[in-house]
Amino acid sequence: MFAALTAAVEGEAPELPGKSVCDTCPTIREGKGQLKALRRFLQSPHYGAPDEPLDKMRCFLEQGFLCMGPVTRAGCGGSQITPRCISARVPCRGCYGPVVHEGNQMVDMLNALASNGIDVHSLPEHVSLLRFSGAHRRLRPKRQRKEA
């Protein structure tokens, strides 16, 4: 937050990380292709004791939960490297926006799911894919009317 405010005061664009949440996530990833379908977040993900370190827990996406980490820009953890959602042991929702400048998280996430062998028709709901994206270039300032 401090870096963004400093950049705004200096009239510069803030420097955003070029990594995804997955790049900074400490959970265990065992590989692609093991999961074929996603499930609803109605039960807790599997992890040991609440005080067990995150590097002992398996990746949310590999557990079958929709995690937007592969297509979301890292940095939401602030000075802590680990993203806040992951630290709270919940999947990434995508709040920090797309990794790719002006990217579309929904399309990128569908591509990530398909490339991992996950049936995109198994998505429990599609709203999560559009929670923080989908309005790019659709919100425009109101035009001033010329008075006659």
In a 3-state reduction of DSSP, which class is residue 132?
Answer: coil
> Which tokens in the block code for residue 77?
């953890």
Spell out the residues 6+ positions from residue 99 whose beta carbon is closer than 8 angstroms to its own.
Answer: 18, 19, 20, 71, 72, 73, 74, 108
3 within domain boundaries: no
Gap between the terminal Cα atoms of the chain: 45
49 within domain boundaries: yes
As for how many domains the chain has, the answer is: 1
10 within domain boundaries: no
Q: Percentage of residues in the chain with pLDDT exceeding 90?
A: 5
Position 147 scores a pLDDT of 62
88 within domain boundaries: yes
User: With bands split at pLDDT 50, 70 and 90, how would you rate the model's confidence at 141?
Assistant: low
4 within domain boundaries: no
1 within domain boundaries: no
Residue 134 predicted with pLDDT over 60: no
Residue reference for tokens 């953890």: 77
2 within domain boundaries: no
User: With bands split at pLDDT 50, 70 and 90, how would you rate the model's confidence at 139?
Assistant: very low
Instruction: Give me the chain's average pLDDT, please.
Output: 79
Contact 64, 16 (CB under 8 A): no
The alpha-helical segments, DSSP class H, found in the chain are 2-9, 21-24, 84-87, 105-115
Q: Which domain holds residue 46?
A: 15-133
139 within domain boundaries: no
32 versus 87: the higher-pLDDT residue is: 87
Each residue's pLDDT tens digit, 76-106: 877 677 888 888 888 898 888 888 877 788 8
pTM, to two decimals: 0.73
